[in-house]
């Protein structure tokens, strides 16, 4: 594809990939990415993505086919996302902490045609592929072992990108086509795929860009996983704007991130309360300041008002954005940063181009100050859950216009006289911790598979930093020698880190209601010693 055309025709960004292509045409030699200290230009990103797109197409990828990207924040991850989009496929980014059983479920559920991963994850994806029939090829980054896996061929990511002639033009798709499936925990204990179209994701990205007042001069610091939609949209926004994204694998080594922020002259830091809590702890030990940061954003869990004075000290020149969202529509609301000290407990108003309102469970409007269930209306809501029509109908409800569907969040909110939203609780069992949704049922299934545990129940408890923490109640065989530490270790072997219980409480028996079901409401009275 040529980018030397100086035509004055402005082409709208209808598709998710269009932002990258437009930025590469405007700024071919500008630094698009800095990945763990190494810079890449927009032209390098486009050319590598087109080479991977050609390789996928040559190996049988058809328009709409799903490509599972099971890899951490890295150059291969980003190129795989855009390579899939340019080839007309649907990308599915899966957290590299995911264990084999869940990865196998996702591969089967979305009928993935390709798996792109890293060699260090071979011990996870190899057994996951044993019962997967749809995958026709595996592409891995790094140096492989000699271990045989079920699917052949297994090819090198680096070799394909370096030696495949770039696709001459992207495969035709339209805005109604799916761009991504984003898997999130469901109340049934199995993940569900949120279907996001090109037009929904393009709209959401531009709405976020608008209210965060971002420009092509910004340098966005990414320490959140790209598998988390909060992290993914930092990539999408940066590429649309022609800005620079500074990519780190995680926030595991804060001192290194502090150095990188300053070295790379970052101007935007998206984070979650756990990250801000760590930074505040560092500040209390030895004052740290990042005057170059102009915006910080928070979502996943509410931003504690006690954090805000410290954040003003750490980021003296930054606008502070408190936000609320869910995967099914990316983002719901934001608080104007000028109001962060005036309404610190509010998550603000609807993002640009959208509308929110509260209804009673019976569907009636609620008065200001009264609790109601939050509904979201706009172009950014999901198309539904992949192959889950009943679950889709629970979330997408009839709207204000004939034939329209709006998103029912199943979350309780209050709205004040000025229209500002305040979170008031959840109506389902899903636990929101560290920005991730966790199904209690999935954790309970893992617990009862541990030898010596007879019964288990899991609830979420409020936590200022995590949003909610996972608390497990177990009834153990009297002969077992299990303790809380051992149970947590066994859970970590089967579950992603964020799903493992923070607390384990042993009971002689679990409380039951008249129907014989576990009474989780009464479990909330128990405290950790």
Mean local confidence (pLDDT), 8-26? 88
For the chain, the domains span 37-173, 199-426, 433-523
- Residue 515 confidence class, pLDDT cut points 50, 70, 90: low
Over residues 489-502, mean pLDDT: 91
CATH topology identical between 37-173 and 199-426: yes
Largest distance between two CA atoms of the chain: 78
The residue with tokens 């002689």 is: 508
Cβ-contact 427, 412 below 8 angstroms: yes
What are 431's strand-pairing partners? 438
Q: Is the pLDDT of residue 254 over 50?
A: yes
* Other C-beta atoms lying within 10 Å of the C-beta of residue 28: 16
**What pLDDT, on a 0 to 100 scale, did the predictor assign at position 434?**
82
Using a pLDDT cut of 70, give the percent of the chain over it.
95
Residue 352 — pLDDT band, cuts 50, 70, 90? Answer: very high
Which single residue is written with the structure tokens 């859970």?
491
Q: What is the DSSP string of 230-250?
A: HHHHHHHHHHHHT-EEEE-S-
pLDDT, residue 167, reads: 96
For 102-133, the three-class secondary structure string (H helix, E strand, C coil) is HHHHHHHHCCCCEEEEEHHHHHHHHHHHHHCC
Asked if 330 and 229 count as a contact pair (C-beta separation under 8 A), the reply is yes
- Residues 124-161: pLDDT tens digits? 999 999 999 999 999 999 987 666 666 667 999 999 99
Q: What is the DSSP letter of 351?
A: P
Which superfamily does CATH assign the domain made up of 199-426 to?
ANL, N-terminal domain (3.40.50.12780)
Q: What is the average per-residue pLDDT within 460-466?
A: 86
Q: What is the CATH number that goes with domain 37-173? A: 3.40.50.980
* Contact (Cβ atoms closer than 8 angstroms) between residue 291 and residue 317: yes
Q: Give tens-digit pLDDT for 157-183.
A: 999 999 999 999 999 999 999 999 999
**Please, which pLDDT band fits residue 7 given cuts at 50, 70 and 90?**
very low
Candidate CATH numbers 3.10.310.10, 3.40.50.620, 2.60.40.650, 3.30.300.30; the one for domain 433-523: 3.30.300.30
Q: Which of the pair, 502 or 304, is modelled with greater confidence? A: 502
- Helix ranges (H only) for 316-367 are none
Tell me, letter by letter, the H, E, C secondary structure of 411-438. EEEEECCCCCEEEEEECCCCEEECCEEE
Say which range, 89-103, 201-215, 237-251, 436-450, has the weakest mean pLDDT.
436-450
Cα dist from 86 to 47, 172, 337, whole Å: 11, 9, 36
- State percent of the chain over pLDDT 90: 74
């Amino acid at each position: 594809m040529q980018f030397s055309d100086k035509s004055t025709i402005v082409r709208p960004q209808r598709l998710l990939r269009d932002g990258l292509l437009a930025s590469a045409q405007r700024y071919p030699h500008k630094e698009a990415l800095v990945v763990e200290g190494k810079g890449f230009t927009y032209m390098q990103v486009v050319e590598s993505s087109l080479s991977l797109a050609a390789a996928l197409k040559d190996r049988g990828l058809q328009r709409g086919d799903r490509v599972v990207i099971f890899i951490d924040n890295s150059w291969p991850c980003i190129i795989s996302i855009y390579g899939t989009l340019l080839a007309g496929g649907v990308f599915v980014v899966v957290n590299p902490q995911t264990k084999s059983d869940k990865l196998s479920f996702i591969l089967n559920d979305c009928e993935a045609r390709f798996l792109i991963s890293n060699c260090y994850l071979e011990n996870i994806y190899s057994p996951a592929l044993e019962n997967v029939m749809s995958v026709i090829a595996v592409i891995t980054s790094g140096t492989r072992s000699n271990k045989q896996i079920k699917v052949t061929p297994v090819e090198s990511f680096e070799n394909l990108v370096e030696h495949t002639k770039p696709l001459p033009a992207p495969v035709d798709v339209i805005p109604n086509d799916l761009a991504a499936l984003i898997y999130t925990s469901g109340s049934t204990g199995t993940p569900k795929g949120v279907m996001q179209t090109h037009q929904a994701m393009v709209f959401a990205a531009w709405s976020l860009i608008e209210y965060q007042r971002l420009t092509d001069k910004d340098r966005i610091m990414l320490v959140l996983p790209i598998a988390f939609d909060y992290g993914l949209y930092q990539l999408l926004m940066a590429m649309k704007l022609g800005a620079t994204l500074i990519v780190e694998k995680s926030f595991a080594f804060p001192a290194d991130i502090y150095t990188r922020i300053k070295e790379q002259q970052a101007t935007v830091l998206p984070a979650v309360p756990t990250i801000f809590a760590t930074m505040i702890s560092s500040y209390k030990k030895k004052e740290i300041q990042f005057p170059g940061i102009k915006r910080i954003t928070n979502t996943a869990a509410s931003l504690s008002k006690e954090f805000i004075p410290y954040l003003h000290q750490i980021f003296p020149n930054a606008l502070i954005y408190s936000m609320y969202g869910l995967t099914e529509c990316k983002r719901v609301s934001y608080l104007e940063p000028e109001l962060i000290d005036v309404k610190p407990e509010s998550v603000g108003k609807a993002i640009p181009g959208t509308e929110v309102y509260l209804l009673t469970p019976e569907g009636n409007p609620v008065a200001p100050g009264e609790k109601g269930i939050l509904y979201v209306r706009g172009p950014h809501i999901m198309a539904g859950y992949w192959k889950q029509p009943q679950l889709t109908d629970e979330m997408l409800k009839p709207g204000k216009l004939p034939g329209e569907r709006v998103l029912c969040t199943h979350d309780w909110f209050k709205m004040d006289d000025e229209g500002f939203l305040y979170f008031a609780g959840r109506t389902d069992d899903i636990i929101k911790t560290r920005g991730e949704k966790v199904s209690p049922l999935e954790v309970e299934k893992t617990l009862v598979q541990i030898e010596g545990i007879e019964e288990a129940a899991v609830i979420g408890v409020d936590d200022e930093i995590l949003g909610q923490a996972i608390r497990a109640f177990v009834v153990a065989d009297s002969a077992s020698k299990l303790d809380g530490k051992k149970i947590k270790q066994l859970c970590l072997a089967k579950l992603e880190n964020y799903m493992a219980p923070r607390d384990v409480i042993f009971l002689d028996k679990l409380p039951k209601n008249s129907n014989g079901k576990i009474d989780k409401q009464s479990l909330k009275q128990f405290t950790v010693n």
